[in-house]
């Protein structure tokens, strides 16, 4: 049986925005594992608690109070580049891919739960992504090209 915590990070990557990267309240999930050295000498470690595809999660409906969804945002990056290693790359059918991920995040979210969505507009505008989701966010913030949005189920 899968243990359920209060928070699911559906695509945690290297957990870069967490104050505590080992927070026991969070299940850190990703579809890949990686340990490599970046061009600046830092180690990049992607080591999820659960290896899974955010489009098909092994959790029952209404499982989490909070879901964090920070999917890859790049469509153009060299396959061996540090950008691809650090952030991942979207497939060419990115609208369907992101819609499936968003819908799956909403499925595992409890009623009145919060979905925290992070997006960087470097290559795809947030407005394009929101059209795919077909749901309005509750609130949001912008810092440079990075956007943080909150959705409520």
Tens of pLDDT, residues 37-64? 777 788 888 999 999 999 999 999 999 9
The reply to whether 32 falls in a domain is yes
The reply to whether 116 falls in a domain is yes
Question: Residues 5, 20, 103, 109: what is their CA dihedral angle, to the nearest 10 degrees?
Answer: 30
Domain total of the chain: 1
How far apart, in whole angstroms, are the C-alpha atoms of residue 67 and residue 40?
A: 31
The reply to whether 133 falls in a domain is yes
The reply to whether 135 falls in a domain is yes
Low-confidence ranges of the chain (pLDDT < 70): 1-4
CA angle 84, 87, 89 (to 5 degrees): 55
Task: Please state the separation of Cα 50 from the chain's center in Å.
Answer: 14
Per-residue pLDDT at 144? 86
The answer to whether residues 66 and 114 touch, using CB atoms and an 8 Å cutoff, is yes
Per-residue pLDDT at 2? 56
Domain encompassing residue 63? 7-152
pLDDT digits (tens, 9 = 90+) for 134-150: 899 999 997 789 999 99
How many angstroms separate the most distant Cα atoms in the chain?
Answer: 44
CATH number at residue 80: 3.40.50.150
For the entire predicted model, the pTM comes to: 0.90
Of 134, 129, 52, 144, the C-alpha closest to 95 is 129
Task: Please state the separation of Cα 52 from the chain's center in Å.
Answer: 12
The answer to whether residues 76 and 118 touch, using CB atoms and an 8 Å cutoff, is no
């Amino acid at each position: 049986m899968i243990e359920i915590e209060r928070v699911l990070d559906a695509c945690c990557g290297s957990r870069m925005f967490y104050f505590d990267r080992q927070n026991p309240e969070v299940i850190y999930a990703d579809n890949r594992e990686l340990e490599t050295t970046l061009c600046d000498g830092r180690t990049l470690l992607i080591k999820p608690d659960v290896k899974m595809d955010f489009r098909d999660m092994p959790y029952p409906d209404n499982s989490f109070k909070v879901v964090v969804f920070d999917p890859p945002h790049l469509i153009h990056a060299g396959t061996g580049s540090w950008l691809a290693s650090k952030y991942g790359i979207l497939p060419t059918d990115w609208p369907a891919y992101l819609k499936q991920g968003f819908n799956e995040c909403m499925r595992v979210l409890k009623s009145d739960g919060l979905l925290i969505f992070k997006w960087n507009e470097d290559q795809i505008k947030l407005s394009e992504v929101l059209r795919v989701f077909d749901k309005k966010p509750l609130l949001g913030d912008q810092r440079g090209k990075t956007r943080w949005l909150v959705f409520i189920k």
